[in-house]
Amino acid sequence: MFLIGIIVLIIVSTVVVWKASDALGDAADHLAYHHNMPSIVKGAIIAAVASSFPEFATVILSTAIHNAFELGVAAIVGSALFNILIIPAACQIAIKKPLDAHRDIVFKEGQFYLISVVVLLLIFTLSALYFPVLGTEYLRGELNRGLVLVPLLLYVLYLFIQHQEIKDGRHEIDTFEPEMSLAKSWGKLILSMILIFIACEGLVYGAIEIGEILHMPVVFWGLTVVAAGTSVPDTLISVRDAKQGEAGAALGNAFGSNVFDLLICIPTGVLIAGTAVIAMNEVIPLMGFLTFATLLTFIFLRIGLKLKRRESITMLGVYAVFVLWMLAESLGFSHLVW
């Protein structure tokens, strides 16, 4: 009965995250339009940060309250994979025609996201080289606050580039008549954030408990259940934008969310914890798969600057392979990660 209660808690928490994030995204959209943000910048920063708030809350809660930094990292990596594979595919399938990929998405957002993956893998490696944890079977490193300043500064560079895009006037500004005042938009934004924090606590608690009940690594539930639950908002926002003809905002949200997740969310967990031990035998395979998925999506978007149905199905299949691999790891049939 307790297991059923935990499952219900996870489902209810996911629904609350979904609804609250939808409201948060709506408020963020209005704020973006109030401040005359271009469509691509709106997707890459405003919508991305808004829809990534569940992942941000998950890292804070898992680290500060449950002392489970690895669960937060797993949720981030799983969410990044979900975003890069599922969101573009879902957008293309939803509109039932090839999804246009703006050149700025491929050559600016996509490439900066690739840099983000490389930088995160670099600081993990540096932690193992310069701050090794001795006396363990596998290579481990201690990730400290000094190292995580690198991705944080990289995100500042990302914001500077976006600012220059607005300043140079390279993008057309959307025409939009806001339905909410500026004050109401901010109020809705703050209330949505509070609800998301509460719901994410339900997801984190549920993941920890179900892992203990089923005797499965909590990391597995972070990579799959928590990641999918927190990525639902990203998917809904992007699909909505794609249906409205804003393919740039839809794809920009997917890439921008991942940039925020990797460069802000994971470092935030380290800043809270002070230090975090990184097991390279776990990190390398997962980051390797994330790199593969990123390159695959980048190639699909680059070919003709359109994402077609066959490519979308392939991306869904790759994500299914990842979930099956993680399940095999958790059940002891594979030993590449744990």
pLDDT in tens, 60-87: 999 888 888 888 888 999 999 999 999 9
| Average pLDDT value for the chain | 85
Which uninterrupted H or E stretch holds 140?
strand 140-144
**pLDDT of 36 higher than 90:** no
Give the pLDDT mean for 246-260.
Answer: 83
Measuring CA to CA, how many Å separate 98 from each of 58, 92, 239? 34, 6, 14
**What's the confidence (pLDDT) of residue 42?**
59
Q: Which of 265, 252, 189 is nearest to 43 (CA)?
A: 252
Over residues 158-162, the mean pLDDT reads 81
Q: How confident is the model at residue 202 (pLDDT cuts 50, 70, 90)?
A: very high
- What is the predicted pLDDT for the residue at 44? 56
Mean pLDDT of 306-323: 95
**Which residue blocks in the chain are alpha helix, DSSP H?**
2-34, 39-41, 48-51, 53-64, 69-95, 103-104, 111-130, 149-168, 182-214, 218-221, 227-243, 247-260, 266-273, 280-302, 309-331
Taking only the tens place, the pLDDT of each residue in 89-112 is 999 999 999 998 877 777 778 888
Confidence band (pLDDT; 50, 70, 90) for 132?
very high
Paired with 277 in beta bridges are 142
Percent of the chain at pLDDT exceeding 70: 90
Mean pLDDT of 209-237: 86
Kindly state the DSSP code that residue 220 receives in the 8-state scheme. H
Domains in the chain, please, with CATH?
A: 2-331 (1.20.1420.30)
Average of per-residue pLDDT across 180-186? 80
Give how far the C-alpha of residue 37 lies from the chain's centroid of Cα atoms, to the nearest Å.
22
Full-model pTM:
0.86
Q: List pLDDT tens digits, range 226-241.
A: 998 888 777 877 888 8
Please tell me the predicted confidence (pLDDT) of residue 279. Answer: 86
- Dig out the tokens for 39 from the structure: 């469509």
Q: Could you give the CA distance from residue 25 to residue 180 in angstroms, rounded to a whole number?
A: 13
**Does 285 score more than 70 pLDDT?**
yes
Pick from 3-12, 140-149, 178-187: least confident: 178-187
Q: Give 126's pLDDT tier (boundaries 50, 70, 90).
A: very high
- Look at residue 245 in the predicted model and tell me its pLDDT: 84
Q: Is the pLDDT higher at 240 or at 117?
A: 117
